[in-house]
Amino acid sequence: MKELLTGNLPNSFLIGGREYHISSDFRAMLRLEEIFSSEKLTDEEKAERALKLFYGCIPEPLEEAVERLCYFWSCGRQEQEGRAKGEGAAQPPIYSFAHDAGLIYGAFLTQYGIDLSRKSLHWWQFMALFEALEEDRVLKEVMRCRAVEIKGDMPQAQKDYYNAMKRRYALPLPEQEERQQSALVAALMGDGKVDEVMACMKKK
């Protein structure tokens, strides 16, 4: 994300020879998470709403529009990191912008002096700050507890602690919803098939 240093953060994309301004504020991306995790919407409806939220319309060609959205959502890392196919099962999420909103708000306020309820931030700026949060923040401890793998050779007291913390900080996402969200994200990020989603959207 060298653009963070050069000041050339993307606020529009050229798609099919036409420039489209995008919703670059972090709040729009948080709304995308809400769309993807909705149990009331089909995958096609989620993709349609995500594109309309991001561009204000559904640009053509659709595949290019989806690729640009994914590129932006991944903060420009998709091409560099080359998300490998078949890397194994997706890991459970260790944070949720919706569920952990209070912890995120508090971490930004105490570490950076940024009031997220009043401050507009480009999505890439927000994620850079989020990833740079200090390890002593409550949010980072919660994330560590969710991520830790409880192994058989752990002392029993340590197992009991992490089991208790995992129950305490568990994200309220039903298993089915997690699978649906992971499948849609995988499709949009290029690890799955977007053909069917795009085809259904084109029929509308």
Q: 171 falls in which pLDDT band (50, 70, 90)? A: confident
The answer to whether residues 15 and 48 belong to one domain is yes
Higher pLDDT, 177 or 113: 113
In a domain, 157, yes or no: yes
Query: What is the average pLDDT value for the chain, to the nearest integer?
Result: 83
The answer to whether residues 34 and 79 belong to one domain is yes
The answer to whether residues 67 and 124 belong to one domain is no
In a domain, 93, yes or no: no
Mean pLDDT in residue range 144-159: 91
Q: Which residues form the domain of 21?
A: 3-87+175-203
Q: What residues pair up with 25 in beta bridges, in sequence order?
A: 122
The answer to whether residues 110 and 159 belong to one domain is yes
pLDDT attached to residue 11:
96
The answer to whether residues 82 and 181 belong to one domain is yes
Q: 69 falls in which pLDDT band (50, 70, 90)? A: very high
The answer to whether residues 109 and 180 belong to one domain is no
In a domain, 149, yes or no: yes
The answer to whether residues 9 and 82 belong to one domain is yes
In a domain, 64, yes or no: yes
- For residue 198, pLDDT over 90 is answered with no
Instruction: Give pLDDT tens digits for 79-92.
Output: 444 444 444 455 77
The answer to whether residues 18 and 119 belong to one domain is no
Higher pLDDT, 132 or 178: 132
Number of domains in the chain: 2
Rounded to an integer, what is the distance from CA 141 to the centroid of its chain? 20
The answer to whether residues 81 and 181 belong to one domain is yes
In a domain, 61, yes or no: yes
The answer to whether residues 76 and 142 belong to one domain is no
Mean pLDDT in residue range 6-13: 92
The answer to whether residues 153 and 127 belong to one domain is yes
Mean pLDDT in residue range 48-53: 94
In a domain, 96, yes or no: no
